Structure 1
Amino acid sequence: MKRRLLLAGGLAAGGFVVLRDRLSALLPGRGFDTAVRHPGQHMGHRLRELTRPGAPPAAQPPAQRKADVVIVGSGVAALSCAWALRRAGLDDFVMIDGPAPLGNAAWGSHPFSAYPRGAHYLPVPTRSSLHVREMLHDLGVLLEGPRDDAPLYDERCVVHAGVERVLHQGRWHAGILPPLAPHSAAQRQWAAVQAAFGQMRALHDAQGRPAFEVPLALGATLPSASRLDAQSFAGWLDAHGITDPLLRWYFDYSCRDEYGVEAALVSAWAGLHYFCVQRGQARHAEPGAVLTWPQGLGWIAHGLQGRLAPQQRMTGAALRVSRLAGQRGCRVTVLDEQGRLSALQARKVVVATPLFVARRLVPEHFDGLEQAPGPAMSPWLVANFFMRRFPAERPGEPLSWDNVVAGSSALGYIVATHQAIRTALPAGTVLTAYHALGAADNEARRRWAAQAPADELLALAGADLDTAYGREWKRWCTGAELTIHGHAMAVPAPGFLHEPLMRRARAALADGQDVLFAHADLSGYSVFEEASYWGVQAARGIAYGAPR
């Protein structure tokens, strides 16, 4: 989530519960308020109980409204679907917001700065992600040449100098991997693994498609993919002799950052994908540059949401999607926060929710897969600290946009005002710290995060800031907001390329069914490009009869 999240929508990303605690114990004589948010927890659990096997069937209110298309969810896949429908000239659609509009792309605002509550950047898209380029062009970020090798982007959104740094042995260094001693075993292992990555990048099929591509669906399908997918990335590293502790931390960090869990729990194919996929280019920027905004990807999501007319949005959460008996079309039953039911009738429904939600909304579509566990979902903690001034820095590289502590189990912190500090530091800022809570005991970690006291969550959230600044940073902190995403992202565990729920959901699009699915889960891992791809594909299937 920190670097390329995905962006889940729908029921799992709704509503919130806020707890207020005065944490005066943080610093003698000082303290600050902490708000703890649990998006979707209350409504999500309520919907789970109403749709569990054996639950009494909900009342069926008459359809009070008709639309050509209903989109269930409001994350990036849903918003991308709405954007693509409008581009195709189809305006007769309704998006059901879910308990929390924008899902994991939600954001907040503070007098110091806007800030992300989820994913915070987008890699400059390649030509393969043309749908993302066209979206950015429509939003005014991509200024020229959406089909060029290196388009021109608004420089205010491109991260240039001071992209990332790492704290190692008391000093900040440029990049995420600390410097390796010349002629050391670590350096030799790094050279070997880079050579292996180069061989993987060269894999193509007879049509010239690369093995590793974004979106995933546009890449080659090679026999080697299944072999790699059958083992863990940690196992692949073991087999290639990568044993240095610092390198292993780096690869674990990368997997936690991208997939929410360490390398031992990630498919080798997915781990390699992170390092071997082609990076986008931009005019006047280094290869592999990234785009960001103070509110993270909330800027894009908010921009897409702002294109919708009021009548194209509906509050509440979908309880059930069912096909109409004896005729074409579907019915969507909606539950609002007050427990009232309503219904919509539509020609097509796009279920833009995580697969674990989709299988409850449309159980008959997944007949025969009742025992399939589906992808594991990694929980995340996103913490925003409101700083009235910047703490003093250690020696080495200056404050960067992305700041990581070597050896930490957390994922560091970003600076919301980075794009505005090229000449001078602003008076105040927001520091956003990320912690992937996913592990082999995902469910236990999720239960802990759902019930943990604010002070425990705060101690975890601030661990990297403690290492970087000692206790001083708390002196300048005026408040904190902690967001727990219980089901933040799908984990591409070994075997994920053949996950049955994913394959069944994709088949609906290929078959042109009345109920279509659109979510990053259809790719098996959660990043913006994948979520938006499936949203656009669903819209194109509706507009043109088949995905293009």
Structure 2
Amino acid sequence: MKKPGRRNFIFKSITALGGLAATGGSIASCTTSSKKAITGKLLGPSFKAGHLLRKGISIIPTQVEETDVVIVGGGVSGLAAARWLKQNSDKEILLLELEQETGGNAAAGKNEQTSYPWGAHYLPLPNNSFTALLDFLHECKVITGYNEAKLPVYNEYYLCFDPEERLYINNYWQEGLVPRWGVPQKDQQQISRFQELMDELKDAKGSDRKYAFDIPLANSSADTQYRDLDKLTMLEWLLQHELTSEYLHWYVDYCCRDDFGSSLENTSAWAGIHYFASRKAEAANSEPHRVLTWPEGNNWLVQCLRETCADSIRTNAMVYNVTEVNGKIAVDFMDLRTQKYKRLLAEKCIMATPQFVNQRLLNNIPAISAQRKYERFNYVPWLVANITLKDVPQGKGFGLCWDNVIYGSKSLGYVYANHQQVALFPERKTITFYYPLADDKPAVARGKAYSSGYDYWQEFVLHELEKAHPTIREQVEALDTWVWGHGMICPVPGFIWGEEKNTSATPYADKLYFAHSDLSGISVFEEAFYQGISAAQHVLNITVA
């Protein structure tokens, strides 16, 4: 989520310093010295529609329309599939999206000063072998061209501006996210050793000559010496290598929470290593570790995906049943604007929806219901908050960055939404706070998240931020929160290369195909994009690269 992309593993001078849609309102937040009204509301995906799906709808629509391809779901996978089919075929396509806007967890909002993300907010520079993604970025002018060495030239306005990252540790803001300030020498040595191991694994290849860790994930080596790492937790792997430093453990735990919404103790070691070892980008005008970002986060990319297929998108369309009728796929949905029930008949259908949704929508196709098991698909809830401030309180050390993280916290800190703006002194500043609810079982965490109201979450966010900014309440003017009940797929041990995931990705009867980042096992933009294009290629019976 705070990704959705991922954090880059940069060790900058390690030893240099030594040592859900709901009603909103406003409440009064109190400190010991003052009272100050903070406006805000609790937001989120369409909770009422989700309740209707869980309850079940048995209506068979009488209003029927036919098309060539139906895509269910307008997240990155669905949009990528629609774009690819539009550009590579003359098929008539209709994409159905439950929410008012497409984009999935790359949603965004806006206030008077800036746009801001409600979810995924950056894209690491893609691997140069991922040509489909490079072509898309070239199409939307994120890549402006290529140099003589055929390396991409990235638009400077979209590369994250300096300063990029800082960490609050030992009452001091240090540059970079790897703990350094006041960290003992023995811990720094373990951190350096970890870096060396990650560098080795970044270059490692299996007996099939594929990289051990790659993006898209499907391009990674099938060699068992690497895939067997999926059987361990990341914590077990660290301990096997005698990496016991609490500073290193916190940092790797932070990275697992960042990309997977999961902790060190329940993240697959293969997935945890993939975070650090899979990025191999080269660029003409950038260091490989930099990221692409926008004030509204990855919603900017979503809007680019929409451009080629906007006339084929229907929003506020709640699909409640997908079945087979006379050799065609029937997609039943309710138009939430008109409350009318409709059916689309199609030759082909792409389910660009997560498996917990497919589990409910595909009950009337017995061959699918009997074959697939969904118990291993675990989705972590997330809390995101956007806070409007008169100013971000200062502290000792390095100044405000794009990404600001608090050592020891289980939050991911906050991103400065105004960072990519050219204006130097915005009238108000907006920060986006991220917190994966990773420390309970997902169902338990989801229940707690949905049962907690705005007042609870406002206080929760302010309490977390006060760890680095004790006076932040004095600066807050508005604080809105968003709960993602099923924010990200969690790559628990055995899931990435497990049979359940593989089976769930298998097309049905050459007419029903599946595309979602949970079929990669990692919820990042690149994997969602890859899944969408792969499904689209299957629709046209094109060999997937």
Q: Structure 1-normalised TM-score?
A: 0.91
Unaligned runs of 5+ in 1: 7-14, 51-56
Provide the secondary structure at the position in 2 that maps to 1:33.
strand
1:212 equivalent in alignment to 2:217: no
User: Residue type matched to 1:542 in 2?
Assistant: V
For 1:294 and 1:137, the matched residues in 2 are separated by: 20
- Which of 8, 27, 36 pairs up with 1:30? 36
Question: Is 1:490–2:492 an aligned residue pair?
Answer: no
Corresponding letter in the other structure for 1:39: P
Match of 1:467, SS state, is coil
Alpha-carbon distance, 1:429 to partner: 2.1
| Inter-CA distance 39–187: structure 2 relative to 1 (3 Å threshold) | same
Q: 1:230 to 1:299 in 2, by over 3 A?
A: same
1:21 to 26, 39, 44: 26
Q: Partner of 1:264: helix, strand, or coil? A: coil
Describe the SS at the equivalent of 2:282: coil
Give the alignment of 1:71-470 within 5 angstroms. 71-90=71-90, 92-101=92-101, 102-145=103-146, 150-179=151-180, 184-325=185-326, 327=327, 329-337=328-336, 339-363=339-363, 364-369=366-371, 372-387=374-389, 389-420=390-421, 424-470=424-470
* Structure-2 change in CA distance of 1:198 and 1:141 (3 Å): closer
Corresponding pairs, count: 527
Question: Any conservation in 1 of the 2:373–2:500 contact (CA below 8 Å)?
Answer: no
Tell me by how many angstroms 1:23 deviates: 2.7
| CA pair 394-276 structure 1, distance change in 2 beyond 3 A | same
**In the alignment, does 2:87 pair up with 1:42?**
no
Contact in 2 for aligned 1:505/1:516 (Cα 8 Å): no
Could you say if the C-alpha distance between residues 111 and 463 of structure 1 is closer, same or farther in structure 2, counting changes exceeding 3 Å? Answer: same
1:149 to 1:401, Cα distance in 2 relative to 1, 3 A: farther
Whichever residue aligns with residue 187 of structure 1, its letter is Q
Whichever residue aligns with residue 382 of structure 2, its letter is: W
Stretch deviating more after TM superposition (184-193 or 78-87): 184-193
Q: What is the alpha-carbon distance in structure 1 between the residues aligned to residue 260 and residue 148 of structure 2?
A: 29
Do the aligned partners of residues 406 and 299 (structure 1) sit closer, same or farther apart at CA in structure 2, a change above 3 Å counting? Answer: same
Cα offset for 1:545? 4.0
Deviation (angstroms), 1:354: 0.7
Q: CA shift at 1:547, angstroms?
A: 2.6
Instruction: Select between 371-380 and 269-278 the one with higher mean Cα deviation.
Output: 371-380
Query: Aligned letter for 1:72?
Result: V
Q: Larger deviation: 18-27 or 452-461?
A: 18-27
CA distance in 2, matches of 1:277, 1:339: 46
Distance 1:178 1:309 in 2: 45
CA contact (8 A) 1:40 1:99 kept: yes
- Quickly say closer, same or farther: Cα 1:75–1:311, change in 2 above 3 A: closer
Partner of 2:511: 514
1:533 to partner: Cα distance:
0.2
Match of 1:10 in 2: none
Deviates more, 1:241-250 or 1:177-186: 177-186
Report the AA paired with residue 231 of structure 1. L
Quote the Cα distance in structure 2 between the aligned partners of 1:370 and 1:81.
23
For 1:225 and 1:40, the matched residues in 2 are separated by 40
2:522 is aligned, of 522, 525, 534, to 525
TM-score by length of 2: 0.91
In the alignment, the residues of structure 2 paired with residue 536 and residue 407 of structure 1 have an alpha-carbon distance, to the nearest angstrom, of 39
Q: Percent identity?
A: 30
Deviation at 1:34, TM superposition (A): 1.4
- Distance 1:384-1:180 versus aligned 2 partners, 3 A rule: closer
What CA distance in whole angstroms lies between the structure 1 residues aligned with 2:493 and 2:179?
29
- 1:518–1:531: 8 Å Cα contact kept in structure 2? yes
| Cα offset, 1:169, TM superposition | 1.1
Which position in structure 1 is the counterpart of 2:16?
A: none
Q: Secondary structure at the match of 1:263?
A: coil
1:143 CA displacement: 0.9
Check whether the contact 2:167–2:405 (CA below 8 A) recurs between aligned residues: yes
Q: Deviations over 1:271-292 (max 9, x none)?
A: 1111111232332222211000
2:424 match: secondary structure: coil
The code of the aligned residue for 1:90 comes to: D
1:342-364 deviations in Å (ceiling 9; x for gaps):
11011111000111111222233
Which deviates more from structure 2 when the two are superposed, residues 258-267 or residues 455-464?
455-464
What is the alpha-carbon distance in structure 1 between the residues aligned to residue 149 and residue 523 of structure 2? 26
Match of 2:10 in 1: none
Conserved? CA contact 1:380–1:435, under 8 Å: yes
Note if contact 1:281-1:288 (Cα within 8 Å) is conserved in structure 2: no
Change over 3 Å in CA distance of 1:391–1:201 after alignment to 2: closer
Query: For 1:94-139, what per-residue CA distance to the aligned partner results, in whole angstroms no more than 9, with x for missing partners?
Result: 1101135321111011101001010100001112322221111111
Distance 1:258-1:374 versus aligned 2 partners, 3 A rule: same
- What is the distance in 1 between the residues matched to 2:266 and 2:232? 9
Distance 2:510 2:257 in 1: 36
Partner of 1:11: none
Contact 1:380 1:488 in 2 (8 A): yes
Corresponding letter in the other structure for 1:126:
N
Q: Where does structure 2 lack aligned partners over 5 or more consecutive residues? A: 7-19
SS where residue 378 of structure 1 aligns? strand
Cα 1:483–1:181 change in 2 (3 A) is closer
Q: How far is the alpha carbon of 1:209 from its aligned partner?
A: 1.3
Match of 1:54?
none
